[in-house]
Structure 1
Amino acid sequence: SWFVRVTDFKDRMLANNEQIDWVPENVKHGQFGKWLEGARDWSISRNRYWGSPIPIWKSDDPAHPREDVYGSLAELERDF
């Protein structure tokens, strides 16, 4: 599985939430604020039939190990 390490920037998200003027105001410390407080590392590659493709290519050839993450179609076209 591939994860986003949310715990690395959770404190920053909580601090930024305090700077937002939410409408309605109770969202800041209500449902959204509570979600931020309990934020955990997030699996972005769950095995589900409706899953989103992740732009990562990982070689299974031990003679040529590599792992590439693509941020644009141009990067993908450049390599393939």
Structure 2
Amino acid sequence: MPTYSRKLLLSFTDETVAALDEAANALGMCRSEVIRRSLTRDLKYVMDYEVPDMLRFHQETAAAHTSWLTSRRWLD
């Protein structure tokens, strides 16, 4: 993990670190990538708006893909 990420993590609460880990896992990224992207914007904005939007997009995409696979299975 880059140095800036380690220093930044020291200032986070356990709850924030847990949220970062959850977002990173859901998005298929490492925690440092989420932090790196967050550094270009206000972290609160990223955690409150961008991460939920990304998670919702991935959930909707997964649901649509699952629905498509299910419908294809019945057609074959």
Answer 1 or 2: which has greater strand percent: 1
Which has the bigger relative contact order, CA under 8 A and spacing at least 6? Answer: 1
Answer 1 or 2: which has greater helix percent: 2
Give the TM-score category using the shorter length: under 0.3
Pick the structure with greater CA Rg. 1
TM-score (structure 2 length as normaliser): 0.26
TM-score (structure 1 length as normaliser): 0.26
